[in-house]
Structure 1
Amino acid sequence: MEPNIFSSYREWLEHEKMPKGKKAALVAAMELFSETGFDGTSTVQVAERAGISQATIFKYFHTKQDLMLAIVKPVMEHLFPAYRDEFFHGISERKTLPEMVAFIVTDRYQFIKNNEQAVKILAMEMMTNEEMRQLFGKLAITNNFNFPGELLNDFRRTGQLRDDIDVAGLMRILAGQLVMYVIQSTFVPDLVQGEQADLKLITAQIVRTISK
C-alpha cells in the first residue's frame, strides 16, 4: 500500500502513531531550530517549549542530532515525490523542457512553503554539515524512488535535455536552486525580488543549465 501523500510535516506528524511527548518534542524542536538554529538551541529549551522533561526527549532520541534528523529526513524523502501520480500527470501534460521545469519549480516550491520551518533547518544545516549533504544526496538518487529516473526520461523525450545530464546532476540542479532560494530568503532577504519574479528567474536559470 502506498503511503499517504506528504504535503506538510505537521500534517504528517498528526497522523503518525507515536506518543504525544515525542510529537511535542518534534514540533518544539522544529520551531526552535528554525528560529535560533540547531547549535543555538538546547534540549532544555526544546523540553520547556514542548512541556515535557528533558528525560522524555532522550527517551525517544539518543542525541540532539537524532532529534533534528527526525524532522528533516521525512521532508528530504518527500522533496522528490516518489508517490505522486498527479505530479507526473502534470509533467506528462507539458511538452517542452521549459514548461516541465516551470511546473516542477512551482510544484516543489509549494511543498517547500508548506514545510518552511523544516526546509529552513535543512538549508542551514546543508551549508555547514557534510553528513547532512551526503544524506540529502543519497536520498535524492536512491533506487527506492521512481522520481529521478522517470523525470529524467520525461525531460529526455523533449529532445532538449543536454546529453551529459544524468540523474544525480539533474537532482542537484533542481534541488540546489530551490534550497539556495530558501537560504537567500532567510539570510539575505534583500536579494529576494518577489515570489513570482524569483520563481521565473529560478526556472530560467535551470533551463539554461540543462538545455542543449
Structure 2
Amino acid sequence: MVKVLASYQEEIANQEIPSGKKKVLLAGLKLFSKKGFHATTTAEIAHEAGVSEGTIYKYFKSKDDLLAKLLSPMLTEIKDNFFVQLDDYHDLTKLISFLVEDRIQFLLINFDFLKLFIQELLTDNKIIDLIKTEVTGKNGVFAYFDDLKKRFGEINSDLTSIQLLRIFISPIFTYVVQVKVFGINSQDKNADLALIKKQIYLGLTA
C-alpha cells in the first residue's frame, strides 16, 4: 500500500487545536493558494474563516507567521518523514516505484499547497532561504542524494545532487501539472506511471 499523507486540509481539520485557529489555517491555505499571499488580506481570511481579524492575531503574530505555520509542517513531511520511508527500500527499481506513486498522489491531493509553495518560492526571499536550508543544509535533500549514490551502485556516481534532484522531480512535476493545470487525464495511468519510473531509472543509471 502506498503511504501518502492525507490532504493538508484533512490534517489541519484533525489537529487538536482551537477551532478558531483551525478555521484561520484552512482559510489561509485556501485564499493564499487561490489569490496569492500578497493579494490576500487578513480581513478576507477572517471573512472566509467566519471569525474576527482579532482571532487571527490571537494565534498568529502576522500574516507572514500564518504562512510560515502553513508551510513548515509540509516541508518537514516532504524532507524528513518521506525520506525515512525510502530507507526501507534496498532495490532501486522498487524505491523509484514507491517514490513515483507516493509523490504523485501526494502532490495531486495537496495541489493547493503546491501552488502556494511555488507562488511564494518565486516572490519571497524568506521562503527561498528556508528552502535552501532544507535542500542544501547538513541534513538536507542533497545530503540524502549523496547517500543514495552510496547505497545503490547502479546510480551514475558522476551525477551531482542537483542533477539527481532534477531527474526525480521533472517527470513527476510535469505529470501533476498535466492533470491539475491542463486537466489532461491519462487514458492509461498505469502506462504513464511505468514510463515515468523508466525515465527516472534511465536518468539515474545513464
TM-score bracket relative to the smaller structure: 0.7 to 0.9
Q: Name structure 2 gaps, 5 residues minimum.
A: none
Residue 36 of structure 1 aligns with an amino acid whose one-letter code is K
Q: Name structure 1 gaps, 5 residues minimum.
A: none
Hey, what's the Cα distance between the residues in 1 that align with 2:52 and 2:65? 17
- TM-score, normalization by structure 2: 0.74
Q: CA deviation at 1:177?
A: 4.8
Q: CA deviation at 1:137?
A: 3.3
Q: 1:86/1:77 Cα in 2 relative to 1: closer, same or farther (>3 Å)?
A: closer
Identity %: 28
Give the SS at the match of 2:107: helix
Q: Which residue of 1 aligns with 2:114?
A: 119
1:8-57 CA deviation, whole Å, 9 max, x = no partner? 32343244343221111000111122222223322211110101111221
Hey, what's the Cα distance between the residues in 2 that align with 1:207 and 1:76? 25
Give the SS at the match of 2:81: coil
1:100-179 to structure 2, matched below 5 A, reads: 100-143=95-138, 152-167=146-161, 169-171=163-165, 173-175=167-169, 177-179=171-173
Q: CA deviation at 1:103?
A: 2.2
Q: Which residue of 1 aligns with 2:201?
A: 207
Q: CA RMSD in A?
A: 3.3
Hey, what's the Cα distance between the residues in 1 that align with 2:28 and 2:113? 10
- TM-score, normalization by structure 1: 0.73
1:180-203 CA deviation, whole Å, 9 max, x = no partner? 55455555556x756555544543
Q: CA deviation at 1:127?
A: 3.6
Between 181-190 and 7-16, the greater mean CA deviation after superposition: 181-190
Contact 1:141 1:168 in 2 (8 A): no
Hey, what's the Cα distance between the residues in 2 that align with 1:196 and 1:114? 18
Q: Which residue of 2 aligns with 1:49?
A: 48
Hey, what's the Cα distance between the residues in 2 that align with 1:131 and 1:186? 27
